[in-house]
Amino acid sequence: MSSTIPTQTATAAHPEPAHSEPAPHTAHHLSAKKFTLHFAEMVVAMAVGMVALHPVWTFVLDALGAAEVMHDPYTGALIMATNMTVAMSAWMKIRGHRWRPIAEMGAAMYLPFLVLFVPLALELIDEDALLLWGHVLMLPAMAAAMLLRPHEYAHC
């Protein structure tokens, strides 16, 4: 004698979404500790990217006779943001993130520098302030990107 256990399946009236947001009743299960740990992991990945990729850029630009590119505050800041973004994006992909959140986090790396290029061009700040404030503002920009999709970061 076989028994069947009734199961609830999706119906035409209530289809199950393929990739959905967590239901509102599960929002309280998101872990602030995991969210914060993930933020810290991304900051570490960014630091690793800066340290590991800077010599690569230096070597390639020196070989091309374009070492001055690293010393220009605009291109130097963009190269640094790229180094951080490459490493952080790789870490996010390893952690199972989708491309959209990775792209949003990448934008958070560049946005502070792009905004600060205006006061730099107007000579309201110098290169040191660009680098300092670019890095400082990157942290709330990252947090804002994470808060757009808290479930993306609190489950890892």
Write out the residue range of the structural domain in which residue 99 sits.
Answer: 30-154
Q: Is residue 12 part of a domain?
A: no
* Sign of the C-alpha dihedral computed for residues 130, 132, 137 and 138 taken in this order: positive
pLDDT of amino acid 31: 79
Residue 6 has pLDDT above 60, yes or no: no
Amino acid, single-letter form, for residue 108: A
8 found inside a domain: no
In a domain, 93, yes or no: yes
37 within some domain: yes
User: Does residue 82 sit within a domain?
Assistant: yes
| Three-state SS at 19 | coil
**pLDDT for 74:** 97
**Closest CA relative to residue 130, chosen from 153, 112, 148:** 112
Number of domains in the chain: 1
In a domain, 25, yes or no: no
Residue 3 lies in a domain: no
pTM across the whole model: 0.74
pLDDT band at 131 (very low <50, low <70, confident <90, very high): very high
